[in-house]
Chain A
């Protein structure tokens, strides 16, 4: 059974700092990995999708990497801003035999202080 772990559970940083959020998964036979952001009382917003054949994806100040063999992904946020404060979740999708089921981590709650 796939298990996804995110470390740290919470992170508080001053504005402008570069930061890294970590995600690990137990079964490396994944189809893709997706990073989401969730604001309080809101739905999940897709940030980046990395296919299993890819090593990284970038969008603006965000960069996500994937190391399938070690079961790890990182989300790098450059020059953090107070508006980045949210909960960040990673989720992995299994291979074809496991269908479209996504397994989510517990999330990292990020606070960026002005």
Chain B
């Protein structure tokens, strides 16, 4: 299995621009998670889906952030408009509902200037 696939690996953009991060979970997994990692705050859960349905988005910082999962093999995390404080590594992870062993992608490193 190819594992969780994220794109782009690196993104540099200017403040105010729209950013879209993409994720392909492991085939057969029915839970998908978006995390953000920074030096200051460590790993933060932004949102997770079960069977393509958003279950908990309480970690989404504000309305500028949105996530979708149109089908079982694809999810996006969008930031519009982006701000410098959004600079971080964004990870996508997937698992079976049980036993919930989590598998992470390589991450998307976002820099907002």
Chain A positions within 8 Å of B, measured between CB atoms, are 31-32, 34, 36, 41-46, 49, 51, 89, 91, 93, 99-102, 104, 106-107
Contact = CB atoms under 8 A, between A and B. Distances in A.
Top 4 A-B residue pairs of the complex, sorted by shortest distance between their CB atoms: A43-B104, A44-B104, A104-B43, A49-B101
A46 B4 CA distance: 13
A104 B48 contact: no
Contact of A43 (B56, B91, B99): B91
Interface residues of B, number: 24
B33 A100 contact: yes
Given A32-B99, A51-B99, A101 B45 contact: yes
Interface in B20-72: 31, 33, 42-43, 45, 48, 50, 55-56
**Prevailing SS type, chain A contact patch:** strand
Interface in B56-94: 56, 91, 93
Given A43-B106, A44-B104, A49-B99, A99 B43 contact: no
A6 to B, nearest CB: 11
Nearest to B93: A44
A43 B105 contact: yes
